Structure 1
């Protein structure tokens, strides 16, 4: 059976749902293909203690404010999963699951989306799979020699699993700080970072971060100098558990080690520390392998999008950084949504994905009218 909606959205997490909301409002025929068996995207796979940086009202998708979670100023991941599930139902978004996409191909005037349940044909595709499914592990010498347990952020769940053990947490971003704070009371913690941790001021949460990202977007749109956005404020949001562990003196970072040994870690000066486990909080890369058949240009893991180069090498015009887009520079029928600042400032956040999702839907609607 040939299935030919006008648009196929790949990914049923927050970005895919935001795209679906705006496509529905514009009367576009679309389907959302989600590899997960239940709603909630990557939020249903996080560690137990994870909470949002922002109150519910500042963590919402377009159209419907997230309801507050009783007893919690900052909702936990379970509350986000429930919100995404209810959002999908509220707007009757046509999500097919579980459907795993294996490839996107050109086929004349259409794009063919191959899946484990057959092929779909569409005039446009929105890739909204995020990064959670492609964790990044750095090439540290000796990593294969280490005799203990190694895991990435995606595999960590709770501090009780490491009680009394010697644990090294690697990474100076939010995930590294939060997991280090989680482990600081029950494990023998070593927190290794590339540079000294940069904590944001205690009164800054996701609301201020969204304002910073919005101000940056406005400056770029108006051709003014880049404000630096969230990165100019620091790397780590001092959410209550991080702030408490820091204030107790339990979050003391050490410089990044130079190699792993069978029983632990080593620095360049010969200093060693024993370890039973290493948790790599070292980030992610876009999960885009299914786009390989299109032969798109890729630079440092980022597909080249319309109006921009990669986020760390932006195009400069008259001394200013140009705004970034979502449309593939090599395939105008393909948009990428929610992968980070290179697809729109703050687009990887719940509240930040709404604006680029609206722009994607409008641009695709224009394409379909053409």
Structure 2
């Protein structure tokens, strides 16, 4: 069977943007999505998260972003994605969980259980949601309370009347404190002193933050999130928690976990009912392992000094939603860049075979 020109893995923001641009370029492709319905990671967010709460959802190319109102984000964004897929007749097949991508004498083979697709190029748009990062601390398996990661967050009402230890120094931890501190007892711990942004987050500041992520990707280092280098900011909905001192009472990491709490480095003990790990995610790229794209530094080096989407070690592979394109705005731009990268790879392949 003649291989397809491209396979896109993932139908979140980056995958849909890529499919839109591949269609515009007349490139035969198929999008494989692991979810049962449109919406990418958004459909798995907690019910209490509204469109007013989210940090931002950029409009997909040729469409408008959902309104920033009181709608549940896990309903509004998936509905807009479903409309987009239908309006542009994007070639999406679901549910398909990709296990691995291999090379068969110059042709890429995308495997999903017993099914497989042969293709000349692959665009990886799997994001990070399926790869939550949970650090290990001594004794964590003995804890008798609840341990939840951001991916499991059930909404603020679940925590009423419980003492909640929030672990993490990123935007999610700040948001959880904002929701929980006004209704229950909270404690915040981070590995490093939080860095707060006191000036306005201008377009120039955003560009500078993205540039720092690009530098890491250009060197083949594992990417940091864009949010991780911008510094933390409080939104209006977090001001009540600020007034209550939730952000002032930050402590360094505990030394170990015990059945009913945590032990600090100085030997003192703190009782807690819940440990909420707001410790982030890692890129979902394990299915690309056999292609050996990682550098010795542990990341995947991308072209154009980290600004592009083409894997330096194999130009047939594009990565979107990785490194500097992990934000919704970045994912849209990366979709266009990746489609061009696919077009270039196909052109080079045809030139070599003629």
Q: Which residue of structure 2 aligns with residue 167 of structure 1?
A: 164
Pair 1:86 & 2:79 matched: no
Deviations 1:18-77 (A, max 9, x none): 1111111111111100000000011111123333224x6xx22222221424567xx834
Q: Is the 8 A contact 1:3 1:119 kept in 2?
A: no
Q: Which residue of structure 2 aligns with residue 351 of structure 1?
A: 329
SS of equivalent residue, structure 2 residue 37? coil
> In structure 2, how many angstroms separate the alpha carbons of the residues matched to 1:67 and 1:288?
29
Equivalent position to 1:332, from 315, 320, 325: 315
Q: Is the 8 A contact 1:14 1:61 kept in 2?
A: yes
Q: Is the 8 A contact 1:171 1:192 kept in 2?
A: yes
Question: More displaced, 356-365 or 97-106?
Answer: 356-365
Q: Is the 8 A contact 2:48 2:156 kept in 1?
A: no
Equivalent position to 2:240, from 240, 244, 256: 244
Pair 1:187 & 2:184 matched: yes
Q: Root-mean-square deviation (CA), in Å?
A: 2.7
Unaligned runs of 5+ in 2: 215-225, 349-354
Any residues of structure 2 matched to 1:124-203 within 5 Å, and which?
124-201=121-198
Equivalent position to 2:205, from 191, 207, 212: 212
Query: How far 1:93 sits from its partner (Å)?
Result: 0.9
Deviations 1:104-130 (A, max 9, x none): 010123101011361101110011101
Distance 1:185 1:301, change over 3 A: farther
Q: Which residue of structure 1 aligns with residue 282 of structure 2?
A: 285
> In structure 2, how many angstroms separate the alpha carbons of the residues matched to 1:220 and 1:284?
15
> In structure 2, how many angstroms separate the alpha carbons of the residues matched to 1:218 and 1:201?
20
Q: Which residue of structure 2 aligns with residue 258 of structure 1?
A: 255
Q: Which residue of structure 1 aligns with residue 338 of structure 2?
A: 360
Question: More displaced, 171-180 or 138-147?
Answer: 138-147
Q: Is the 8 A contact 2:187 2:246 kept in 1?
A: no
**What is the number of residues matched between the two proteins?**
334
Query: How far 1:301 sits from its partner (Å)?
Result: 4.9
Provide TM-score, normalisation by structure 2. Answer: 0.85
Q: Which residue of structure 1 aligns with residue 55 of structure 2?
A: 53
Provide TM-score, normalisation by structure 1. Answer: 0.82
Distance 1:220 1:9, change over 3 A: closer
Distance 1:297 1:250, change over 3 A: closer
Deviations 1:227-263 (A, max 9, x none): xx865641x2322222331133233322221221222
> In structure 2, how many angstroms separate the alpha carbons of the residues matched to 1:121 and 1:175?
39
> In structure 2, how many angstroms separate the alpha carbons of the residues matched to 1:217 and 1:288?
21
Q: Is the 8 A contact 1:99 1:117 kept in 2?
A: no
Distance 1:259 1:299, change over 3 A: farther
Deviations 1:78-137 (A, max 9, x none): 322222222222221111000111110101231010113611011100111011101111
Distance 1:124 1:176, change over 3 A: same
